[in-house]
Amino acid sequence: AQSVTQLGSHVSVSEGALVLLRCNYSSSVPPYLFWYVQYPNQGLQLLLKYTTGATLVKGINGFEAEFKKSETSFHLTKPSAHMSDAAEYFCAVIPSGGSYIPTFGRGTSLIVHP
């Protein structure tokens, strides 16, 4: 079965600092990978996705993620954090050739200090 591990339930950064949110997955074949963001009392918004092709994926709001097959990772980064980035971030995986039902990680809460 697919599983998604997000290292760190909380990540705290200063405004302007690099944001790094970690995601590792278990899969015997390269899956489809997603990052979603959830603001308080809202649903999930798609930040970016990897299906095939270029392993460095750029998303909205200046975020990007790199698919590393050898490390089974799909970490999310942003060069400079803004206060408005404070939210819950979820990594999700869909097994390729499967049912297209995503499995979500437990989420990482990003805290941005002024």
Contact string (CB under 8 A) for another protein, positions 67-106, x = contact: -----------------------x---x----xxxxxxxx
Contact 32, 2 (CB under 8 A): no
> What residues between 5 and 24 interact with another protein by CB under 8 A?
9
Nearer to another protein by Cβ, of 46 and 111: the residue is 46
Residue 71: strand, helix, or coil: helix
Segment 33 to 72, residues that bind another protein, using CB under 8 A: 34, 36, 41-46, 49, 51
Measured between alpha carbons, how far is residue 34 from residues 13, 14, 85, 95 in Å?
Answer: 22, 25, 17, 12
